[in-house]
Amino acid sequence: MSDEKIPLRDRIIVALDVENHAMAKEMVKKCESHTGFFKVGLQLFMASWFETVDWIVDRGHKVMLDLKFFDIPETVKLAVEQVNSRGVTFATIHGNDPIIRAAVAARGDMKLLAVTVLTSFGEEDMRAMGMTQSVEDLVYYRAKRALELGCDGVVSSGLEAGRLRTNLGDRLLIVTPGIRPGDNVSESLDDQKRIVTAGMAIKNGANYVVVGRPITRAEDPARILEAMQQDIAVS
């Protein structure tokens, strides 16, 4: 396991990909016996702005605000400044060196994570976007650059986490989405392509995993959380 200091309870960040504040509150209440870390992304933020973020923070939990800021450096800096006093733990950005530098300078107490390559992208998507590098090489290049520029960590799939951990050391936070339970991890059944189990991600070097649909669409989210924590504990 990459970082023994993080308690098992905090390792799984539940992605609150739900329609509104009321549904987010309901999901937090179903999960909070097993985790105190929640991700607010584009769908929920568009619906509730900071209402859900503030509610989760006031409840004593941690928030990863996943809005993947990408714009000219000054705009990204101003956007990060809008967030940095809200009690958010992780925020996500991406971009070239000036964009990342601007975000780092404005981050305050938050930890800033650079998105490397989305876990829904495979090699064929890279070619379609005109990229010649492999996914793995591009993830590594972007992660190394982000760390050099002062980012606290990166978002990457569990497939690349090992190379990042080995080559970039323990200072880099690795947060891994694209998590699926063991029974369907061999093939992608939805839009995610670079998938691993929670246990594999942590074993490969991730500090945290982000899990959405396997938990939020389950009949009993706490039971899935428990099974994933078990998987992490034995990996």
4 or 183: CB nearest ligand C5P: 183
Local structure of 74: helix, strand or coil: helix
80 or 155: CB nearest ligand C5P: 155
From 153, 205, 212, 221, residue interacting with ligand C5P (rule: CB under 6 A) = 212
Q: Kindly identify the residues of this chain, within the stretch 131-160, that bind ligand C5P according to CB under 6 A.
A: 155
* Residue 55 CB, nearest approach to ligand C5P (Å): 18
* Cβ proximity of 174 and 164 under 8 Å: yes
What single letter denotes the amino acid at residue 1? M
Strand-pairing partners, residue 62, are 37
Q: Is 211 in the site for ligand C5P (CB under 6 A)?
A: yes
Question: Which whole-number Å values give the CA distances from 82 to 56, 59, 78, 106, in the listed order?
Answer: 18, 21, 6, 9
Q: Is 173 in the site for ligand C5P (CB under 6 A)?
A: no
CA torsion through residues 59, 113, 111, 203, sign: positive
Q: Is 199 in the site for ligand C5P (CB under 6 A)?
A: no
Q: Kindly identify the residues of this chain, within the stretch 14-53, that bind ligand C5P according to CB under 6 A.
A: 15, 17, 41
115 or 172: CB nearest ligand C5P: 115
Question: Which whole-number Å values give the CA distances from 78 to 6, 57, 74, 107, in the listed order?
Answer: 31, 22, 6, 10
Tokens 């061999």 correspond to 186
Q: Is 213 in the site for ligand C5P (CB under 6 A)?
A: yes
Footprint of ligand C5P on this chain (CB under 6 A)?
15, 17, 41, 66, 115, 118-119, 155, 177-179, 192, 210-213
